[in-house]
Amino acid sequence: MKNPIFSAVFIFALAVCAFGQTSTQKGIDTQTQKIKEDAGKTTQTTTTNSGDGRSLDWGKGKTKVRQRLANPYKMNSRRDVLIETIRDVMESMKILIDDTVSRPTDGIIVSQPFVFAKGSVITRSELSRYAVLPYSDSSWTRGRFTLTVEVQSIDGIQNNVSVTAKVEGRSENGLMSEWTTLQSSGSAEEEFLIKLVESVTGVLVDQPQDTDQK
Protein backbone atom coordinates (compact mmCIF):
# COMPACT_ATOMS: atom_id res chain seq x y z
CA MET A 1 0.00 0.00 0.00
CA LYS A 2 2.74 2.41 0.94
CA ASN A 3 4.61 2.11 -2.33
CA PRO A 4 1.69 3.12 -4.60
CA ILE A 5 0.87 6.09 -2.33
CA PHE A 6 4.52 7.16 -2.24
CA SER A 7 4.77 6.87 -6.00
CA ALA A 8 1.63 8.93 -6.51
CA VAL A 9 2.92 11.71 -4.21
CA PHE A 10 6.30 11.69 -5.93
CA ILE A 11 4.73 11.95 -9.39
CA PHE A 12 2.46 14.79 -8.19
CA ALA A 13 5.48 16.70 -6.82
CA LEU A 14 7.36 16.33 -10.08
CA ALA A 15 4.31 17.59 -12.00
CA VAL A 16 4.06 20.71 -9.78
CA CYS A 17 7.77 21.49 -10.27
CA ALA A 18 7.52 21.05 -14.02
CA PHE A 19 4.45 23.31 -14.15
CA GLY A 20 6.19 26.02 -12.14
CA GLN A 21 9.28 25.93 -14.34
CA THR A 22 7.13 26.13 -17.46
CA SER A 23 5.19 29.12 -16.10
CA THR A 24 8.39 30.90 -15.12
CA GLN A 25 9.92 30.22 -18.48
CA LYS A 26 6.84 31.56 -20.22
CA GLY A 27 7.05 34.74 -18.15
CA ILE A 28 10.70 35.25 -19.09
CA ASP A 29 9.92 34.64 -22.74
CA THR A 30 7.10 37.21 -22.68
CA GLN A 31 9.24 39.87 -21.02
CA THR A 32 12.18 39.22 -23.32
CA GLN A 33 9.92 39.43 -26.36
CA LYS A 34 8.53 42.79 -25.19
CA ILE A 35 12.04 44.19 -24.71
CA LYS A 36 13.03 43.04 -28.20
CA GLU A 37 9.90 44.59 -29.69
CA ASP A 38 10.51 47.90 -27.93
CA ALA A 39 14.13 47.95 -29.06
CA GLY A 40 13.11 47.12 -32.62
CA LYS A 41 10.66 49.96 -32.97
CA THR A 42 11.76 52.58 -35.47
CA THR A 43 11.72 56.15 -34.26
CA GLN A 44 11.76 59.29 -36.37
CA THR A 45 15.00 61.23 -36.02
CA THR A 46 15.65 64.90 -36.65
CA THR A 47 18.81 66.89 -37.24
CA THR A 48 19.06 69.84 -34.89
CA ASN A 49 20.48 73.23 -35.72
CA SER A 50 23.85 73.83 -34.11
CA GLY A 51 23.31 77.57 -34.42
CA ASP A 52 25.66 78.17 -37.32
CA GLY A 53 22.96 78.27 -39.98
CA ARG A 54 23.33 74.68 -41.18
CA SER A 55 20.29 73.04 -42.72
CA LEU A 56 17.64 71.36 -40.61
CA ASP A 57 15.98 68.15 -41.74
CA TRP A 58 12.48 67.98 -40.31
CA GLY A 59 11.17 65.45 -42.84
CA LYS A 60 9.43 65.69 -46.19
CA GLY A 61 7.46 68.84 -46.83
CA LYS A 62 9.07 70.82 -43.98
CA THR A 63 10.83 74.16 -44.36
CA LYS A 64 14.60 73.86 -44.59
CA VAL A 65 16.95 76.50 -43.24
CA ARG A 66 19.87 77.06 -45.59
CA GLN A 67 23.32 78.25 -44.74
CA ARG A 68 23.91 81.97 -45.15
CA LEU A 69 25.64 83.19 -48.28
CA ALA A 70 29.38 83.62 -48.14
CA ASN A 71 30.50 87.17 -47.45
CA PRO A 72 32.66 88.04 -49.44
CA TYR A 73 30.76 86.33 -52.24
CA LYS A 74 32.49 85.35 -55.49
CA MET A 75 30.66 86.52 -58.61
CA ASN A 76 31.32 86.13 -62.30
CA SER A 77 30.80 89.45 -64.04
CA ARG A 78 32.74 92.31 -65.56
CA ARG A 79 33.69 94.72 -62.80
CA ASP A 80 32.04 97.76 -64.36
CA VAL A 81 28.84 95.83 -65.04
CA LEU A 82 28.82 94.52 -61.46
CA ILE A 83 29.20 98.04 -60.04
CA GLU A 84 26.22 99.18 -62.10
CA THR A 85 24.20 96.17 -60.94
CA ILE A 86 24.96 97.04 -57.32
CA ARG A 87 23.60 100.53 -57.88
CA ASP A 88 20.47 99.11 -59.52
CA VAL A 89 19.86 96.69 -56.65
CA MET A 90 20.15 99.49 -54.09
CA GLU A 91 17.70 101.55 -56.09
CA SER A 92 15.24 98.63 -56.25
CA MET A 93 15.47 98.31 -52.44
CA LYS A 94 14.78 102.05 -52.05
CA ILE A 95 18.29 102.56 -50.66
CA LEU A 96 19.93 105.81 -51.75
CA ILE A 97 23.62 105.91 -52.68
CA ASP A 98 25.91 108.41 -50.98
CA ASP A 99 27.88 109.72 -53.94
CA THR A 100 30.02 111.94 -51.72
CA VAL A 101 31.79 108.97 -50.12
CA SER A 102 31.32 106.25 -52.75
CA ARG A 103 34.29 105.50 -55.01
CA PRO A 104 33.00 103.47 -57.96
CA THR A 105 36.40 103.49 -59.69
CA ASP A 106 37.83 101.76 -56.62
CA GLY A 107 34.90 99.36 -56.47
CA ILE A 108 33.32 100.91 -53.35
CA ILE A 109 29.64 101.86 -53.12
CA VAL A 110 28.30 103.37 -49.89
CA SER A 111 24.63 103.96 -49.18
CA GLN A 112 22.96 106.71 -47.24
CA PRO A 113 21.45 105.64 -43.90
CA PHE A 114 18.34 103.60 -44.65
CA VAL A 115 15.61 103.86 -42.01
CA PHE A 116 13.90 100.47 -41.68
CA ALA A 117 11.83 101.10 -38.55
CA LYS A 118 9.99 104.02 -36.98
CA GLY A 119 8.01 104.22 -33.76
CA SER A 120 8.47 102.53 -30.41
CA VAL A 121 5.94 99.80 -31.20
CA ILE A 122 7.90 98.01 -33.94
CA THR A 123 11.43 99.41 -33.68
CA ARG A 124 12.69 97.05 -30.96
CA SER A 125 11.56 93.92 -32.81
CA GLU A 126 12.97 95.17 -36.13
CA LEU A 127 16.24 96.23 -34.50
CA SER A 128 16.59 92.79 -32.92
CA ARG A 129 16.43 91.33 -36.44
CA TYR A 130 19.21 93.50 -37.84
CA ALA A 131 21.35 93.93 -34.73
CA VAL A 132 22.37 92.36 -31.46
CA LEU A 133 20.61 94.50 -28.86
CA PRO A 134 22.31 95.12 -25.52
CA TYR A 135 20.32 94.47 -22.38
CA SER A 136 18.81 97.83 -21.39
CA ASP A 137 15.52 99.54 -20.69
CA SER A 138 16.06 102.01 -23.54
CA SER A 139 13.03 102.97 -25.58
CA TRP A 140 14.06 102.42 -29.21
CA THR A 141 12.21 104.70 -31.60
CA ARG A 142 14.07 104.27 -34.90
CA GLY A 143 16.39 101.88 -36.65
CA ARG A 144 18.63 102.39 -39.67
CA PHE A 145 21.58 100.82 -41.45
CA THR A 146 24.26 102.00 -43.86
CA LEU A 147 25.65 99.55 -46.42
CA THR A 148 29.19 99.52 -47.75
CA VAL A 149 29.69 97.26 -50.76
CA GLU A 150 33.22 96.60 -51.99
CA VAL A 151 34.15 94.81 -55.21
CA GLN A 152 37.62 93.28 -55.43
CA SER A 153 38.63 91.90 -58.81
CA ILE A 154 40.23 88.46 -58.93
CA ASP A 155 40.71 88.42 -62.69
CA GLY A 156 38.92 89.82 -65.72
CA ILE A 157 35.65 88.03 -64.98
CA GLN A 158 35.69 87.01 -61.29
CA ASN A 159 35.14 89.32 -58.34
CA ASN A 160 34.78 89.10 -54.58
CA VAL A 161 31.89 91.20 -53.31
CA SER A 162 31.82 92.03 -49.59
CA VAL A 163 28.92 93.75 -47.85
CA THR A 164 29.19 95.51 -44.49
CA ALA A 165 26.28 97.03 -42.59
CA LYS A 166 26.52 99.73 -39.94
CA VAL A 167 23.35 99.31 -37.87
CA GLU A 168 22.15 102.10 -35.60
CA GLY A 169 19.25 102.52 -33.22
CA ARG A 170 17.86 105.75 -31.82
CA SER A 171 16.88 105.57 -28.18
CA GLU A 172 15.14 107.99 -25.87
CA ASN A 173 15.27 108.25 -22.10
CA GLY A 174 12.84 111.14 -21.61
CA LEU A 175 15.48 113.83 -21.62
CA MET A 176 17.34 113.27 -24.85
CA SER A 177 17.59 110.99 -27.87
CA GLU A 178 20.69 109.67 -29.56
CA TRP A 179 21.82 107.24 -32.26
CA THR A 180 23.78 104.23 -31.02
CA THR A 181 25.88 101.98 -33.23
CA LEU A 182 24.95 98.34 -32.66
CA GLN A 183 26.55 95.04 -33.61
CA SER A 184 25.12 93.82 -36.90
CA SER A 185 23.38 90.44 -36.89
CA GLY A 186 24.27 89.95 -40.57
CA SER A 187 20.66 90.14 -41.77
CA ALA A 188 21.07 93.43 -43.67
CA GLU A 189 24.14 92.10 -45.47
CA GLU A 190 22.39 88.82 -46.26
CA GLU A 191 19.28 90.53 -47.66
CA PHE A 192 21.36 92.70 -49.99
CA LEU A 193 23.56 89.80 -51.13
CA ILE A 194 20.49 87.71 -51.97
CA LYS A 195 19.10 90.49 -54.17
CA LEU A 196 22.48 91.02 -55.85
CA VAL A 197 23.11 87.32 -56.52
CA GLU A 198 19.63 86.88 -57.98
CA SER A 199 20.10 89.97 -60.16
CA VAL A 200 23.50 88.80 -61.47
CA THR A 201 22.65 85.11 -61.96
CA GLY A 202 18.91 85.27 -62.62
CA VAL A 203 18.43 82.35 -60.23
CA LEU A 204 16.42 82.48 -57.00
CA VAL A 205 18.57 81.91 -53.94
CA ASP A 206 15.65 80.59 -51.90
CA GLN A 207 13.85 78.14 -54.13
CA PRO A 208 10.24 77.29 -53.17
CA GLN A 209 10.20 74.21 -50.93
CA ASP A 210 8.33 71.05 -51.87
CA THR A 211 5.27 70.46 -49.73
CA ASP A 212 3.77 67.15 -48.68
CA GLN A 213 0.51 66.75 -50.58
CA LYS A 214 -0.72 63.93 -48.37
pLDDT tens per residue across span 53-93: 444 444 455 556 788 999 999 999 999 999 999 999 999 99
What integer best gives the mean pLDDT of the chain? 79
CA distance readout (Å), 41 to 29, 33, 46, 88: 18, 12, 16, 57
Cross-strand pairs, 40 = none
DSSP codes of every residue in 43-64: ----BPP-SS----B--TT---
Q: Evaluate whether 49 touches 65 at the Cβ level (below 8 Å).
A: yes
Q: What is the per-residue pLDDT for 164?
A: 98
**152, pLDDT greater than 90:** yes
Q: What is the per-residue pLDDT for 196?
A: 97
Q: What is the per-residue pLDDT for 208?
A: 65
Q: What is the per-residue pLDDT for 64?
A: 63
**Where does the pLDDT of residue 12 fall: very low under 50, low under 70, confident under 90, or very high at 90 and above?**
low
Mean pLDDT, range 190-204, rounded to an integer: 95
Q: Evaluate whether 192 touches 203 at the Cβ level (below 8 Å).
A: no
Q: What is the pTM of this model?
A: 0.67
**210, pLDDT greater than 70:** no
